[in-house]
Amino acid sequence: MEELRVLVPNGMLGYGFPLEDFERGIKRQPHGIVVDAGSTDSGPQKLALGEMTCPESAYYRELATMIPAAKEAGIPLIISSAGGDGTNEHVDLFVEMAEQIANEQELSLQVAKIYSDIPKNQIDSALQSDKITEMQNVPQLTQEEVEQATVVTAQMGAEPYLALLEANNQPDVIIGGRTYDPAPTAALGMYYGFDPALAWHMGKIIECGAICCVPAEKTVLGTLRQDHFLIEPMSPHSKAMPHTVAAHTMYEKSSAFNLPGPGGTLNLENCEFKAENDRVTRVSGSRFIKDENYTVKLEGAKVVGYRSITVMGVRDPILIDQVDEALAYVREQTKKELPEEYAQSQIIFHPYGKNATMKNLESLADEVGHEMCVIAEVASPTQEMAQLVVNRIRTTLLHYGYPGRVATSGNIGMPFTPLEIPLGKVCQFNVYHLLQIEDPIKQFPATVQEVGK
Amino acid sequence: MTQLRDYARVIRSKNSGPFELTFDILFDNLEDYEHFVASKVLTKESFAKLYQIKVSDIITFEYVKPARGIKITIPRPWSQGSVGESDMHGSQQYANLLTLEIPEK
């Protein structure tokens, strides 16, 4: 095969895409459609609570377009990190959606699914045999933390996808659990015999759709050849330019030159980004350096309590001048009046107008606005307790007779009811570690089923 | 003197995973990029000072010529999305960089 064309309708399943760009891409006769659905960006609560990144209807709508298009073209559709977190539960839900679509549109489909949940007893024994290392800036993993995590997934590499593509009866649709984003494209590249390094690098760029183009769009076509690959947006108004594609290689990554993933590191030090024409960029020179031991990244999150907030506006300059002292007083009073609850709670003030967003990274720490919004955040073992503590914080600041006060009717402006707002469970990433595994295929169990007519 | 906000094309910050913050500064053309690099306005030391962290905390400090840009990665000062979070995506942490003074060419 001379070239492999991979169509990515959008960088994140569920975020939408222009139908005309997708159709333009299908007309280019791609050899596969790949869409990633995963992210940790919206925080730990989705993984900890089993929530998905987008509403089910958003996923359904897009799958209902892509599945028949892929089936008609006779090419595989690969969805990775189902639901965002890629848990087995969400993989199953995506397979159910595929079945429903097959029934509705009278299609007969081979649907494969790959699980990525890691049994906790495997993690425990890996801990005991030193096969787990923490990522930089992450605390060492303990058995207790593993237990507290709702579910632990691992980011699979290309191997489980490659095994399915190589199967006698190649599936029409592959629904993958938690996956390193470029892996499905890398698997397609390897399946058709292309340089794995170029396939990994192309996957890294196109997994975000046409974000690497100007203006940033949704749908992108990656064309992989023997010694280079091409990036082309499917919107005719958008361009992939060498420096924008190169810049995208940096996006959300620790390094622009070394991108570690399952099984090895993509090294881009000798890469060249050149204009193929005014809207297509050619990339070459990528290298893939295999690890001696195969590792995958574990992800887990736990529930740490319940959170309540109160939102308070401050306009009085006399109070703004001493807001740090006033908040310290409120904290001290709360501790005195509710010692047991205080001991079990975390209280964080977000003083918007004074370093709330950047905290200790702020360089303009002493420049304060003429008005402020102070949000008090309280996390406690129960919602009731969080409500109690945040109520005490609000009422204490409301009536505090701070030095120099001239107004005695109330110190804060309150925009919302309820005045104390319960936010429900609060979560935290507590597993973000590398696990050494023996077999990158067997670790992620795959099954194929026939759905539809 | 020009400020970086008027000199660079892109100045951004973002999570790189839940435990790191990464900063990208990208320029319109190679000439602007090279002038910025040569000016040494932004070094590991000046970045650490601006963000009030230790030089040894900086995980990555890379000049990325093909992208006409500079990449800097540091540990996330607080774990993403946990109690006290103020910037879930880390996307507002670049603000200190906007007013860096660039010498004239």
pLDDT in tens, B12-64: 999 999 999 999 999 999 999 999 999 999 999 999 999 999 999 999 999 99
pLDDT of A421 strictly over 90: yes
**CA pair distance A438, B6, nearest whole angstrom:** 52
Q: Which two tokens stand for residue A354?
A: 């004074």
Contact residues on chain A for B96, CB-CB shorter than 8 A: 358, 361-364
Q: Cβ of B67 and A247 within 8 Å?
A: yes
The nearest alpha carbon in chain B to A246 belongs to B67
Specify the pLDDT at position B53.
97
**CA pair distance A9, A233, nearest whole angstrom:** 10
Q: Which site among A134, A138, A243, A345 would you substitute to test the B interface, given the most B Cβ atoms closer than 10 Å to its Cβ?
A: A243
- Please give the average per-residue pLDDT across A142-157, as a whole number: 97
Specify the pLDDT at position B31.
96
Question: Who among B68, B75, B82 is closest to A428 (CB)?
Answer: B82
- Please give the average per-residue pLDDT across A5-9, as a whole number: 98
B92 and A CB contact within 8 Å: yes
Q: Cβ of A255 and B17 within 8 Å?
A: no
Question: Sorting pLDDT into bands at 50, 70 and 90, what band is A402?
Answer: very high
Continuous segment of H or E residues that includes residue A198: helix A196-206
**CA pair distance A230, A341, nearest whole angstrom:** 59
Size of interface A-B (CB pairs under 8 A): 141
> Could you tell me if A108 and A171 are in contact, meaning their C-beta atoms sit under 8 angstroms apart?
no
Say what the ipTM of the complex is.
0.91
The nearest alpha carbon in chain B to A270 belongs to B66
> Could you tell me if A453 and A106 are in contact, meaning their C-beta atoms sit under 8 angstroms apart?
yes
Crossing angle between the packed helical segments A19-27 and A56-73, to the nearest 10 degrees = 20
Contact residues on chain A for B59, CB-CB shorter than 8 A: 136, 254
Residue A292 burial (10 A CB sphere; 0-12, 13-18, 19+): exposed
**CA pair distance A220, A116, nearest whole angstrom:** 27
- Mind listing the pLDDT tens digit for each residue in A273-305? 999 999 999 999 999 999 999 999 999 999 999
Compute the radius of gyration of chain A from its Cα atoms: 26
- Please give the average per-residue pLDDT across A347-356, as a whole number: 96
> In this prediction, what percent of chain A has a pLDDT beyond 90?
95
A43 and B CB contact within 8 Å: yes
Specify the pLDDT at position B88.
95
> Could you tell me if A154 and A443 are in contact, meaning their C-beta atoms sit under 8 angstroms apart?
yes
Mean pLDDT of chain A: 96
Specify the pLDDT at position A39.
85
Specify the pLDDT at position A42.
80
Query: pTM to 2 decimals?
Result: 0.93
pLDDT of A136 strictly over 90: no
A346 and B CB contact within 8 Å: yes
DSSP A307-329: EEEEEEEE--HHHHTTHHHHHHH
Q: Cβ of B15 and A363 within 8 Å?
A: no
Q: Which site among B64, B88, B91 would you substitute to test the A interface, given the most A Cβ atoms closer than 10 Å to its Cβ?
A: B64
- Mind listing the pLDDT tens digit for each residue in A68-113? 999 999 999 999 999 999 999 999 999 999 999 999 999 999 999 9
Q: Cβ of A361 and B64 within 8 Å?
A: no
Distance to chain A for B5, nearest Cα, Å: 16
**Distance between alpha carbon A173 and the CA centroid of its chain, in Å?**
22
Specify the pLDDT at position A40.
87
A133 and B CB contact within 8 Å: no
- Mind listing the pLDDT tens digit for each residue in A170-179? 999 999 999 9
SS3 A222: strand
Question: Who among A41, A271, A426 is closest to B15 (CB)?
Answer: A41
Question: Sorting pLDDT into bands at 50, 70 and 90, what band is A418?
Answer: very high
pLDDT of A137 strictly over 90: no
Specify the pLDDT at position A41.
83
- Please give the average per-residue pLDDT across A302-319, as a whole number: 97
A260 and B CB contact within 8 Å: no
B34 and A CB contact within 8 Å: no
Specify the pLDDT at position A361.
95
Q: Cβ of A254 and B16 within 8 Å?
A: yes
Residues 393-432 of A with CB under 8 A from B: 426-429, 432
- Mind listing the pLDDT tens digit for each residue in A217-270? 999 999 999 999 999 999 999 999 999 999 998 888 899 999 999 999 999 999
- Mind listing the pLDDT tens digit for each residue in A160-204? 999 999 999 999 999 999 999 999 999 999 999 999 999 999 999
- Please give the average per-residue pLDDT across A1-18, as a whole number: 97
- Please give the average per-residue pLDDT across A419-441, as a whole number: 97
pLDDT of A13 strictly over 90: yes
Q: Which two tokens stand for residue A450?
A: 């026939």
Question: Who among A40, A359, A363 is closest to B77 (CB)?
Answer: A359
**CA pair distance A390, A440, nearest whole angstrom:** 48
**CA pair distance A134, B53, nearest whole angstrom:** 22
